[in-house]
Amino acid sequence: MAEIKVPELAESITEGTIAQWVKKVGDRVEKGEFIVELETDKVNAEIISEEAGILTQITAAEGDTVLVGQVIAIVEAGEGAAPAPAPQVTAAPAPAQEEPKAAPAAPAPVQVVEESSERVVASPAARKLAREKGIDLASISPVDPQGRVRVQDVAAHGIAPVATPAAPEAPKATVAVDESRVTVEKMSRRRQTIAKRLLEVRQSTAMLTTFNEIDMTNVMALRSRKKDQFFESTGSRLGFMSFFTKAVVAALKKYPYVNAQISGDEMHLNNFFDIGVAVSTEEGLVVPVVRDADRKNFSEIEDTIAGLAAKARDKKLGLNDLSGGSFTITNGGVFGSLMSTPIMNGTQAGILGMHTIQKRPVAVNGEVEIRPMMYVALSYDHRIIDGKDSVGFLKTVKELIENPEDLLLNS
């Protein structure tokens, strides 16, 4: 027999949510075969079976929260494991036919619970108790306003006088929601984590934002002239992100406190330049990291960003892809945002927000011209970054993007 446990993924991850079982009870599994997908705060992890055999028991259903080290399934090992489920399935109904008065209470509810477990959100302990008592989880009215069935709900379900008055209270939590007009969706674990961490940043930092605008004329002209040659020589597409990444690295070197973080009463000035690049996915925003961006050329930066974005869309990002960034760039301009105030990522002290390029009239050498302009924003932790440094940092980025040849010469 082999126990399938929730593995240790990282020091900061202590629990996860069962996202999907790809195998069901009675299925044969091979050693190393993927049997369940676990959703954590940072990534989705594929849990495998360490032994070949038959999946005989699943103790946590889809949607359940499980802890690291918790047993979530049992695999009976060996060749003899394959026929094992069959006798169990036929043995349970057999007594039901021979002893119709006593036996139906055991097998019948088990089958009902298996069917309803896909739509009822319940803790593993509650599911276990329900199976032992032969109670259909769908028939239980939970106290939790979000509808999660707990052990107390299962235990109270068997007491008729207590269960009856609880019934009218359950709908009260949903009376205000007109299902014909409102669609209720439970937040995914990742969305809950994003919400929690963004709120923590707002509450635990002295965040301030400064703005500037960049004339994109020169960088757009350079990109237009060089993109075909760049693609032929490197096989990479030349975008704006490599220019901004290079400009940010140069500005961080000039203003090191923007590349720092607070730890207790200490300021840690990072001597590395791991730049996080925000990527939008169906499940929310993720920020994979371009490692050692100061050592990469334009082609390597473009390839790294493209690879990370593809992994994000395919849900293949690993913990190493997401951890340890020193500064972040986010581009709301791809969605048409003209101006916004980005929120810092984790313990970092700054984040640069790019926005859409829009043609506007600007004064150039005393004349009004129509130029492609982009608003940029720097949100920063005012506890360690003064206004002078924040403005100087953003001004450096602006000057380098408006004179892109300087970036090419310094690469």
Return the active site residues.
382, 386
Ramachandran bin of 336, using left for φ above 0, alpha for ψ from -120 to 50, beta for the remaining angles: left
Token representation of residue 397: 């980025």
Sheet strands side by side (includes 15-21): 44-48, 34-39, 15-21, 65-67
For residue 348, which of 283, 242, 277, 245 has the smallest C-alpha distance?
277
Say how far apart CA 388 and CA 255 lie, in whole Å: 10
User: Closest Cα partner for 187 from 223, 146, 222, 134?
Assistant: 146
> Where do we find the tokens 């477990």?
117
CA distance 40 to 184: 22
Neighbour count for residue 391 (Cβ, 10 Å): 15
Q: Which two tokens stand for residue 224?
A: 């237009």
The residue among 243, 334, 239, 226 whose CA lies nearest residue 285 is 334
Query: Residue 186 contacts by C-beta under 8 Å, 6 or more apart in sequence?
Result: 121, 146
* Pairing between β-strand 53-58 and β-strand 65-67 as defined by DSSP bridges: unpaired
Compute the distance between CA of residue 98 and CA of residue 329 in angstroms, rounded to an integer.
70
CA–CA gap between residue 404 and residue 392 (Å, rounded): 18
Q: How far is 405 from 383, CA to CA, in rounded Å?
A: 35
142 closest CA partner among 155, 128, 125: 155
DSSP state of 143: S
